[in-house]
Every structure is written in C-alpha cells, then in structure tokens.
Amino acid sequence: MSAPVTDVYAPGTLQEAVDRILRVPDEHRTFAKDAAFAEQTWAIGPALLEALLDHGLPHRGEGEQRRFERTDLHNISTYLNLPSPYFQALTRKARSMDEVARKGEQHLHALELRADCAEPGHTGECTFATIPGLNRHSEPGSLRETAPGVFSVRAQLPSNSLVFDEDRSDLLSLVADWELYVLPDGVIEDEGFSRETRLANCLIPTRLLLREAERRGIRARHGAGLLVAPPYTTLHHWVEFELDGDWVPADPVLLTAFSRWGMTDPADWPYNRSVAGIVWHLLTWPPEVFFPVVRDRGVQAPVHIASR
C-alpha cells in the first residue's frame, strides 16, 4: 500500500507546484486531457491528483468529466520528480552524459524516425525525405529508409568538459536561473512572459542569448536539432559559440534543470559548461519553432523518434 500523499510531500510542496503553473494565464489553457492521461503519461495518480485539485490545479468539469491542460500536467510531474517515462528518460540521459564525459568517449546513438503523412487524404502516395542535415551530421552511410517514412540513422556526438570563459559565462548567466518549462502555445515565443516568470522553453532563452551575444561582439549562432535522450528524442534549440574554428553548444537552462531535478551534480555540470554529447546539430538559424526533420511532399511531416 502506497504512503498517503501528505506523507510523501513536504508541507507547501504541492502548493508550490500549483502556484508555479498558475504563472501561466488561464486563457492559454486547453482543457483536453483526463485523469487517465495524467496517471498513465505523467505518473499523477488519483490521490495525488485530488490533492493537487485541493491546492487549485486548473480544470474544467467535475468527476469523470474533469479535464486538464496538457502542459500543466507535464510541468507538475517534472517539478515533483515523478517517474514518468519522460522524466526517467531524461534521468538516464543525464547520467549517461556524465558517465561518458568522464571517460572522454563519444556518445553513439542509433535512431529510428517514423514519419506520418503530412496531409492525410491527399491524392497519390506520400513521398518522404529527411532534411539534408540528418545525413550531413550522421555517421557516414548510416542513414537508410527501411520502409516508407521509416528511417534509421546513427549519431556520433562528441563529449568534452569545456567550461566557457568569463565573457561567455557572463552572457549565459542572464538565463541561468530560468526554469525549463513546457509552455502552452499562447506563450511559446513570448520572451516577455519568460522574463517576468523565469519560466522558459529552449527557444526563448536561445534567441535572447543570440541577440545579446551580437551586442557584446561574441560570435554565436542558433543551433537546432535533437536532444537525444534514449528512449525518447525531441526537437531542441540551443546557442553555439565559435571557439578556435569549432562551434561549441551551450544550454544553461537545460543544465540548471538537470541540477534542480537531482540528475547531475552542479559542481560537475555548472550552467556554463558545454552540452556537447547531448544535442545533435542538424540546422542553423531555423525559421520555425517546430522545424522539420522529415518532409512529405515538401511539407513538414509529424515524426516520432526513438533512440538507444
């Protein structure tokens, strides 16, 4: 029998979790997820869900008809370190990143990309193609289409222990105390919201750092590609600095999140350390928030990415 919710969480913890998501205005919520989704996807069981409701978790409807905002459930789950598949995957990746970096080895990952039809119902067959960067930055000869819309590829990610110099570290400190947060669509590109709340996705601090780097005369570029965290791999944005002819990735908000979630030791992984080994560069200066990795008939196709 599991312990009561009140025995698991310190006084005020659940209220802090709810107060944090309440920084997002209610107008940006779409109440479409039920209690089963909260439990199966985000490990928020019935007792915990009821306790969160008592602390003011936004919802619509009553009883079995209660519906919740998807990003609220995601963010509460990670804030409470609940063992969702997402959180467990990030934990494994952070630990693997640390282990491989200590050995000085490359990170090697096998990825499978499964694309869906970009425009269901169109005439003719789907024609899937990966973006050029997927082949350009992968292990030579490893990219193969194994079935229509299904691609396998191997990624080689370097590892280093570089801590950036004073100028770049000072730049990165501008967002080092921001909290990594899955934002709803209404504020997904709203820098003003992130400045006010200190809640941010990966895109907003990247754009801010690039603008400030240009003002300070620091050569930087927008890196985009994949955050490789087996078994899940997701789209990601970060900033890169040119050092001795190489582009070196930085992501202070991600490293601060790893530390806050207890996945890494902040003494070993400070906000101003490179994240080489966890991000796979595929694009530079992407125009879209959700940039394409696979296209179908020239249109961005939904894609599911598994990695090991």
- pLDDT tens string 2-29: 556 655 677 689 999 999 999 999 999 9
Please check whether residues 302 and 174 belong to one and the same domain.
Answer: yes
Average the pLDDT over each of 103-112, 242-251, 296-305 and give the range with the smallest value.
103-112
pLDDT single digits (tens) 41-97 = 999 999 999 999 999 999 999 999 999 999 999 999 999 999 998 898 888 878 877
pLDDT of res. 6: 57
Q: How many domains does the chain have?
A: 2
State which residues form the domain around 45.
5-83
Domain stops at, among 48, 83, 118: 83
User: Mean pLDDT over all residues of the chain?
Assistant: 92
pLDDT tens-digit series, residues 203-212: 999 999 999 9
Q: Specify whether 170 is located in the same domain as 205.
A: yes
Residues 157 and 138: their CA atoms lie apart, in Å, by: 9
Let me know whether 151 and 291 are in one domain: yes
Q: Are residues 110 and 167 in the same domain?
A: yes
pLDDT band at 144 (very low <50, low <70, confident <90, very high): very high
User: Are 211 and 191 contained in the same domain?
Assistant: yes
Statement to judge: residues 218 and 171 lie in one domain: yes
In this structure, the answer to whether residues 132 and 61 fall within a common structural domain is no
Tell whether 268 and 167 lie within a shared domain.
Answer: yes
Q: What percentage of the chain carries pLDDT values higher than 90?
A: 78
Are 59 and 104 part of one and the same domain?
Answer: no
* Mean pLDDT computed over 95-108: 79
Domain boundary among 25, 55, 83: 83
pLDDT digits (tens, 9 = 90+) for 235-250: 999 999 999 999 999 9
Amino acid 1: pLDDT: 38
* 189 Cβ neighbours under 8 A, 6+ residues apart: 203, 204, 289
Q: 255 and 147, same structural domain?
A: yes
Domain boundary residue, one of 83, 102, 127: 83
As beta bridge partners, residue 259 has: none
Sequence-distant contacts of 170-175: CB under 8 A, at least 24 apart: 171/209, 171/212, 171/213, 171/216, 171/218, 172/209, 172/250, 172/252, 172/271, 172/272, 173/252, 173/271, 173/272, 174/208, 174/209, 174/212, 175/200, 175/205, 175/208, 175/209, 175/252, 175/253
Same domain, 169 and 30: no
Residues 22 and 95 in one domain: no
